[in-house]
Chains A and B, each alone.
Chain A
Amino acid sequence: DIQLTQSPSFLSASVGDRVTITCRASQGISSSLAWYQQKPGKAPKLLIFDASTLQSGVPSRFSGSGSGTEFTLTIDSMQPEDSATYYCQQFNNFPHTFGQGAKLEIK
């Protein structure tokens, strides 16, 4: 199985801060990666697919980059509503594994 390791696992940021979360794959996965945002008690929400394509309706302060084994999710200017847990998921190989999650809180 492909392992996805997210870092950091926990972070806090102030309103307006730039936030970066990294997802590293144990082997190359091309650009077959998605990013999700999950708030407590809710289903995950798709933010980014194919590593860098913004899902319709997602604010433009979110962006994704990377290919191969290293990927990043960036929030340009942290907003209070961005407090959530973020997950990456790879679609290059079965099983379609997830990262362990990165919990983002507002300072």
Chain B
Amino acid sequence: QVQLVQSGAEVKRPGASVKVSCKASGYTFTNYHMHWVRQAPGQGLDWVGVINPSGDSTTYAPKFQGRVTMTRDTSTSTDYMELSSLRSEDTAVYYCAVVRVGYWGQGTLVTVSS
């Protein structure tokens, strides 16, 4: 069955970086874009960006431009999202998702605290 398994929770200091992984299985990884979405505690959904199936093109939401990097390792069917210069407002659950077909990861809580 389809699975998107994300890496575990992270606690980071302000100014640090975090890299979240998303390992896919059960479908043809290179057929679909992977989106990243975040949700701050008690808040709504916030689209972060997307990487294309071959991993050579990304589009990021303007609010994250310059701080986010999405990469893809097709050999391991794993996507990565790295967010730098973390601030407290980046505290959120980060999801990877193949939105077109409704596959979502379980979410990764990133806590930014001094």
Residue of chain B at shortest CB distance from A1: B62
Provide the bound-state CA to CA distance between A43 and B65, in Å: 24
Residue of chain B at shortest CB distance from A56: B102
Is B16 located at the chain interface by the 8 A CB criterion? no
Q: Are A43 and B106 in contact (CB under 8 A)?
A: yes
Instruction: List residues 26-54 of chain A with CB under 8 A from any CB of chain B.
Output: 34, 36, 38, 43-46, 49
Q: Are A49 and B95 in contact (CB under 8 A)?
A: no
Residue of chain A at shortest CB distance from B96: A43
Contact with B along A68-107 (1 / 0, CB 8 A): 0000000000000000000101010011111111000000
Is A55 located at the chain interface by the 8 A CB criterion? yes
With A45-B102, A94-B59 in contact, do A87 and B44 touch (Cβ < 8 Å)? Answer: yes
Chain B residues within 8 Å of A34, by CB: 99
- The contact size tier of chain B is 20 to 34
Q: Count how many pairs of residues, one from A and one from B, have CB atoms less than 8 Å apart in the complex.
A: 51
Q: Are A46 and B99 in contact (CB under 8 A)?
A: yes
Q: Are A100 and B44 in contact (CB under 8 A)?
A: yes
For residue A87, give the distance in angstroms from its CB to the closest CB of chain B.
5
Chain A residues within 8 Å of B47, by CB: 89, 95-98
For residue A44, give the distance in angstroms from its CB to the closest CB of chain B.
6
Provide the bound-state CA to CA distance between A34 and B98, in Å: 13
Q: Are A43 and B107 in contact (CB under 8 A)?
A: yes
Q: Are B102 and A55 in contact (CB under 8 A)?
A: yes
Chain A interface residues (CB < 8 Å from chain B) = 1, 34, 36, 38, 43-46, 49, 55, 87, 89, 91, 94-101
Please list 25 pairs of residues, one from A and one from B, whose beta carbons are closer than 8 Å in the complex, sorted by A's number.
Answer: A38-B45, A43-B97, A43-B104, A43-B105, A43-B106, A44-B37, A44-B45, A44-B104, A46-B99, A46-B101, A46-B102, A87-B44, A87-B45, A89-B47, A91-B99, A94-B61, A95-B59, A95-B60, A95-B62, A96-B35, A96-B50, A98-B45, A99-B44, A101-B44, A101-B45
